[in-house]
Structure 1
Amino acid sequence: MTDRKPSSGGAFAHDFDTALRFLTTIPLPWPAPTSGRGLAGAVPSFPLVGAIIGLVLVASGWIAGLFWPPLVQAVLVVVAWGILTGGLHLDGVSDTFDAVMSWRPRERKLAIMKDSHIGAMGTLALVAVLLLKVAFLADAGASWWPAVLLAPMLGRWAMIAAIVWFPLARTEGLGSSVHGQVNRGTLSGISVVVAVTVVAIAGLGGIVAFLLVGSGAYLLGRWWTRDLGGLTGDTYGALCEATEVMALAAITAAARFAL
């Protein structure tokens, strides 16, 4: 007998399963796939996983809102956000900002990113991301739920864009396992789906968020590429967190102006 290649549906299921396991702490009742392309093939599924993260957070926020005021609800949503993602990208925030704000030579910055200790700039960036998420959600009113639903999707779309747009800073590490695995055509198709989704759900806020996230991802990628010679797994994570904050800001602000 000859080995049969998995169908396109089976390949997608394996890739999505890998993405879900990598990006979240959701316990899945079935074993991890033993076939498929690993993390490299999972990259196009990142925004879909982001949508699932958003749905879980909206459900968590709705339950919290039954018992507590908006500030407590916002704090609990952000705490759930960190738990649901295992703090994966928050770690990238601290490592990235410790490095790029050190004003050291490039090689020294890359070494700082590998250091497990967190410095002053990394701590400041981490606190800023968490406080901004809480602040935007606490005062969002009814627009909190589309913001929470869409921000994780937009953040993970920004990661894919950065993987396509910018070179690698080094050939080893997590970043090297996903770089070059998505071409511009695939990115364009994913971008259309994400854009239509955010506009359908958030209207004007979705348009503003999509444009702001895309521009922010490009500008941050250029800055970090200039400083580091390219991007790494840590910078992809930092980019996700930063653009999630941008998405929350855009959607909640647009809803306020629409009133």
Structure 2
Amino acid sequence: MKRFIGILQFLSRITVIKELPYDDEFKKGIIFFPVVGFILGLLLLFIFRLSNILLPYQVVIILTLGSYVILTGGLHLDGLGDTFDGLYSNRPKDQILEIMRDSRLGTNGVLAILFIIFIKVFGLMNLRSWDIYGALVMMPVFGRLSLVFGCFNSQYPREKGLGNIFIGKVNNKEVFISIIITLLFTILQPISIFYIPILWVITIFFKRHCSNKIGGMTGDTLGALCELVEVAYILYLLITIKLF
């Protein structure tokens, strides 16, 4: 239970126990990533339903997504910005990693963040009312599952860093358990089950791209992957709804 709480606090701003004891096997808690996503999704659904009572629908969507950023501390959006600033700076590997470490945000990062936010806002606005409930819950779940996939069979290009806790330390069993947990959650929106292989493909191509640029995955690229997978999920829902 303490390991799960540790993972919850690692991936969000939700604080249950301020000072948790040190866990030598903390990395094994990666199987709880989709569960944390589910908890975040339920909170988003609660905020959506509550604010939808009094506020216009467009404002409700923005408020809900804003709450998502607050709940996660903007962790993955920050990673997205740093990743796009670094990967597309046309610099050598060492300089790319330095740019990604820099807390300042460049043009590429700003554009990437704005693009992601706009797609999420307008994408959710265009979902049918009964589809948005499942989307709000499953979007964070798939985002966290992508982190598991992103850490699996990956290398960490730096000597030390936060991402080194999980990257390259995920085994087949942990990936399998994470997928099973995610499959259980898709009961809320059965059409989402077919997004899992798409998520896997997105992860493979993104990891390959990062490996070519910097020799592996970092905490920032994991954050970027999470955001890209969540946006792709919204687009997936819009396409499937249009077709079926």
TM-score range normalised by the length of the shorter chain: over 0.9
Q: CA deviation at 1:39?
A: 4.4
Alignment of 1:88-99 (within 5 A): 88-99=75-86
Moved more, 18-27 or 245-254: 245-254
Alignment of 1:167-206 (within 5 A): 167-198=155-186, 200-204=187-191, 206=192
Distance in 1, Cα, partners of 2:133 & 2:239: 13
Does 2:2 correspond to 1:20?
no
Read off the aligned partner of 1:245 and give its amino acid letter: V
Q: CA deviation at 1:167?
A: 1.5
Of 8, 11, 35, which aligns to 1:48?
35
Could you give the per-residue CA deviations for residues 151-173 of structure 1, whole angstroms, max 9, x where no partner exists?
Answer: 10111111111101322122311
Q: CA deviation at 1:211?
A: 2.4
1:54 and 1:149 in contact (8 A); partners too:
yes
Alignment of 1:29-48 (within 5 A): 30-37=17-24, 39-48=26-35
Q: CA deviation at 1:40?
A: 2.0
Read off the aligned partner of 2:206 and give its amino acid letter: L
Does 2:216 correspond to 1:230?
yes
Does 2:116 correspond to 1:129?
yes
Could you give the per-residue CA deviations for residues 23-74 of structure 1, whole angstroms, max 9, x where no partner exists?
Answer: 111232x443214336423322111100000000000011121122321111
1:147 and 1:252 in contact (8 A); partners too:
no
Distance in 2, Cα, partners of 1:34 & 1:224: 34
| SS of residue in 1 equivalent to 2:90 | coil
Could you give the per-residue CA deviations for residues 98-121 of structure 1, whole angstroms, max 9, x where no partner exists?
Answer: 011111111111111111111000
1:25 and 1:83 in contact (8 A); partners too:
yes
Distance in 2, Cα, partners of 1:132 & 1:74: 12
Question: Which residue does 1:251 correspond to in 2?
Answer: 237
Q: CA deviation at 1:196?
A: 4.0
Question: Which residue does 1:242 correspond to in 2?
Answer: 228
Question: Which residue does 2:88 correspond to in 1?
Answer: 101
Distance in 2, Cα, partners of 1:216 & 1:190: 17
Distance in 2, Cα, partners of 1:85 & 1:254: 28
Could you give the per-residue CA deviations for residues 132-159 of structure 1, whole angstroms, max 9, x where no partner exists?
Answer: 1111111112211111100101111111
CA RMSD of aligned residues (A): 1.6
Percent identity reads 29
Of 109, 122, 140, which aligns to 1:152?
140
Q: 1:39 to 1:96 in 2, by over 3 A?
A: farther
Distance in 2, Cα, partners of 1:217 & 1:155: 11
Q: CA deviation at 1:22?
A: 1.1
Q: Which has the higher contact order (CA 8 A, sep 6+)?
A: 2
Instruction: Give the structure-2-normalised TM-score.
Output: 0.93
2:167 and 2:217 in contact (8 A); partners too:
no
| SS of residue in 2 equivalent to 1:125 | helix
User: Which structure would you say has the larger Rg?
Assistant: 1
Question: Which residue does 1:60 correspond to in 2?
Answer: 47
| SS of residue in 1 equivalent to 2:13 | coil
Read off the aligned partner of 2:218 and give its amino acid letter: T
Moved more, 89-98 or 64-73: 64-73
Distance in 2, Cα, partners of 1:35 & 1:122: 35
Question: Which residue does 2:127 correspond to in 1?
Answer: 140
Does 2:62 correspond to 1:75?
yes
Distance in 1, Cα, partners of 2:194 & 2:61: 22
